[in-house]
Amino acid sequence: VEDILKGLRQALEKDVLFSKMKINADEDALQYIAETATGDLRNAYNALELAVITTDVQSDGTIHVDKLAATQSMQKKALSVDTGMYYDMISAFIKSMRGSDANAAMFWFERLLEAGTDPLLLARRIVIHAAEDVGLADPMALPVAVSALTAFQNIGLPEGRIPLSEAILYICNAPKSNSVVVALEGAQKCAKQHPQARVPAHLMDKNYARDTETEDETPYKYPHNYGGWVEQQYLPDEVADAQFYTPSGIGQDVGCRQRKNKRK
């Protein structure tokens, strides 16, 4: 239980989803999830995620996860299949969308719903894959997925399955590119390796007095004065030539590649 509690606390601080939210999770709520997760951190994480996304946001933007929310999230996780089968079906659903198999994606979507999976968890996966696996090859995939999530939150079951299905089919039939994820991972790795890299002088904010004056008097070039783009350095000196984003040349990413090549 203590290991699961530690994992939940770390997730609240470092998880990509949770760390961007203002989450106030009561200690007894975390304790309850840890004690009823049958020793499986993935079960505990999914329950915490469910508690977060099904709890109303307060006026100050905080999501307060109390023991009642934790209890309800664990009850909603009761499935008609064993844990291994559940995660296998989730994996099959994800890989079917990535693999552009609309029939398989719809099948696993319905199997998961029939097994008792909370639809909001599946909706979140749909949104993630719209950005992760389609990305800039078809930027409309993300607003379609987000709209489907919003529609489901407003409609609920059973009709809410229709907009989710539309988003699934859109993602399956869209061209695929992971250039967004590759760029994110590259930038993340580089940022961690260069935590002290300084902002180039011409990009610094000139509206406040700084402790030390910079000797670099390179002027900032306003791109709109040059037809929308002008060559100048935006990265720190240490990584001035770093390349994180490489357009895939698939779908609308083709246009991104063409524009990038023109700027060389």
Name the domain count of the chain.
3
Residue 15 belongs to domain with CATH number: 1.10.8.60
Long-range contacts for 212-217 (Cβ within 8 Å, ≥24 apart)?
none
pTM for the whole structure: 0.67
In a shared domain, residues 63 and 99: no
CATH number, domain with residue 256 = 1.10.3710.10
Instruction: Specify whether 149 is located in the same domain as 197.
Output: no
Instruction: Report the alpha-carbon distance of residue 18 to residue 225 in Å, rounded.
Output: 41
| Coil/strand/helix, residue 243 | coil
Residue 81 has pLDDT above 70, yes or no: no
Tell me: do 112 and 126 sit in the same domain.
yes
Mark whether 72 and 116 lie in a shared domain.
no
**Structure tokens belonging to residue 116:** 């008792």
Same domain, 59 and 104: no
> What's the chain's average pLDDT?
87
Cβ–Cβ under 8 Å, residues 115 and 100: no
CATH number of residue 161's parent domain: 1.20.272.10
Percentage of the chain exceeding pLDDT 90: 55
Report the alpha-carbon distance of residue 177 to residue 182 in Å, rounded. 10
Which pLDDT score is estimated for 264? 64
Residue 80 above 60 pLDDT? no
Biggest CA–CA distance in the chain, Å, is 68
Residues 257 and 192 in one domain: yes
User: Is pLDDT above 70 for 59?
Assistant: yes
How far does CA 27 lie from the centroid of its chain?
26
Q: Which two tokens stand for residue 66?
A: 């109390």
pLDDT at 27: 94
From 173, 203, 231, the end of a domain falls on: 173
- Examine the domain organization and report whether 166 and 185 are in the same domain: no
Task: Please check whether residues 122 and 148 belong to one and the same domain.
Answer: yes
Whether 105 and 125 share a structural domain: yes
Q: Pick from 76, 110, 136: which residue ends a domain?
A: 76
Predicted local confidence at residue 23, as pLDDT: 92
| pLDDT given at position 83 | 63
Q: Same domain for 53 and 122?
A: no
Q: Report d(CA 99, CA 212) in Å as an integer.
A: 54
Same domain, yes or no: 124 and 156? yes
Domain encompassing residue 129: 83-173
pLDDT of residue 212: 64
Task: Say what the pLDDT of residue 75 is.
Answer: 60
Where among 173, 194, 214 does a domain terminate?
173
Same structural domain, 96 and 165:
yes
Q: What pLDDT was estimated at residue 209?
A: 66
